[in-house]
Amino acid sequence: MNFSLAGKTALITGGTSGIGRSVAGRFIEAGAEVWIAGRRDSGTRIADDIGARFVRADVSRETDVVEMFDEVGRHARLDILVLNAGDGTLGKPIQSTTAETFEQVNRVNLYGTFFGLKHGAAAMNDNGSIICTSSAATEYRLAGFEPYVSSKAALESLVRSAAIELGARGIRVNAVCPGGVETEMAPYDAGFDRKVGKLAAIGRAYMNVTEIVGVYHLLAAAEGGFITGQAIRVDGGLGLGCTPAVFDKL
């Protein structure tokens, strides 16, 4: 099977919903044994529904992350680690963003990724793959998206550094940077789609999760074995240039 993950073990944080849950399903279809991590009380049921195993963890807490890897490590070593848990709070303009909100978002998006990279490498086999979820918003900003955007931009810096540090073990580290995805975290907003879709080459601001999971699959599989240190944008061409719709408005 092309892109087979047979014999591989994967752990996906933020795996009980949205992108994480869909990626877990794709990995299972490709033959991997999959663990999903999250904070939901329903995590075990969700894992059972898709054929995965569940470990409870709040990635904003370093002790939880250590315990998460310890729990999975009692059963298997990892070949694939997806650091996907995130806080999607878009916040307000910088001048009106509270320190508490800034801290909250960064504890999950930035510190959670840092803790995962810090402790995850020791739980992995050589020649594995670490995939972090960033955002297309780091490249094409819209007003009022702080502190979310800055947390994801810093995440991408961690990805590049980790790719250099872990490359000697054959471990690849990459980021996937989705545009709008219809999930619980980001429900479809027709007004946003109508406005921001005009800035995207393909004319829409949202994708469904089936349009993003293939990128994670590529990065996890042997076929993606020469890709590392990259931030791959899956955003429908947002911000490539002046689209016809924008040009007509001008």
Which CATH number fits the domain that encloses residue 112?
3.40.50.720
Q: Is 198 a catalytic residue?
A: no
Q: Is 206 a residue of the active site? A: no
**Residue 138 belongs to domain spanning:** 9-249
Mean pLDDT (whole number) for 93-111: 94
Q: Which one is catalytic: 22, 60, 129, 148?
A: 148
Residue entry with tokens 């995440």: 155
Helix (H, G, I), strand (E, B) or coil at 221: coil
Check residue 232 and give its pLDDT: 97
Is residue 2 assigned to a domain? no
Indicate whether 216 belongs to any domain: yes
Q: Tell me if 36 sits within 8 A of 52, measured CB to CB.
A: yes
Residue 66: closest CA among 120, 104, 133: 120
Options 22, 60, 134, 135, the catalytic residue: 135
Beta bridge partners of 33: 9
In a domain, 209, yes or no: yes
Q: What percent of the chain has pLDDT over 70?
A: 99
pLDDT greater than 80 at residue 68: yes
pLDDT(178) > 90? yes
Distances from the Cα of 191 to the Cαs of 187, 204, 205, 208, in angstroms?
12, 11, 10, 17
Report the C-alpha gap between 188 and 60 in whole angstroms. Answer: 27
Mean pLDDT of 229-241: 93
CA 4 to chain centre: 21
Report yes or no on 187 lying in a domain.
yes
Q: Is the pLDDT of residue 203 over 70?
A: yes
Nearest-angstrom CA–CA distance, 117 and 47: 23
- Per-residue model confidence as pLDDT tens digits over 6-54: 999 999 999 999 999 999 999 999 999 999 999 999 999 999 999 999 9
Q: Which of 22, 111, 140, 152 is catalytic?
A: 152
Give the number of other CB atoms < 10 A from CB of residue 89. 19
Count of domains for the chain:
1
Mean pLDDT of the chain: 94
| Domain membership flag for residue 4 | no
Q: What span, in angstroms and rounded, lies between the C-alpha atoms of 15 and 28?
A: 13
Measured CA to CA, the distance from residue 86 to residue 106 in angstroms comes to 9
Structure confidence at residue 150 (pLDDT): 93
Q: Is the pLDDT of residue 191 over 90?
A: no
In this predicted structure, the answer to whether residue 201 has a pLDDT above a threshold of 70 is yes
Q: Please check whether residue 1 lies inside any domain of the structure.
A: no
Identify whether 214 is part of a domain. yes
- How many other C-beta atoms lie within 10 A of the C-beta of residue 237? 14
**CB–CB of 55/71 below 8 Å?**
yes
Residues 6+ apart with CB under 8 A from 117: 83, 130, 132, 158, 162, 173
Confidence of residue 140 (pLDDT cuts 50, 70, 90): confident
pLDDT digits (tens, 9 = 90+) for 154-173: 999 999 999 999 999 999 99
Please give the C-alpha separations between residue 161 and each of 22, 85, 164, 172, in angstroms, as whole numbers: 27, 20, 5, 11
Does 92 participate in catalysis according to the annotation? no
Residue 15 within a domain: yes
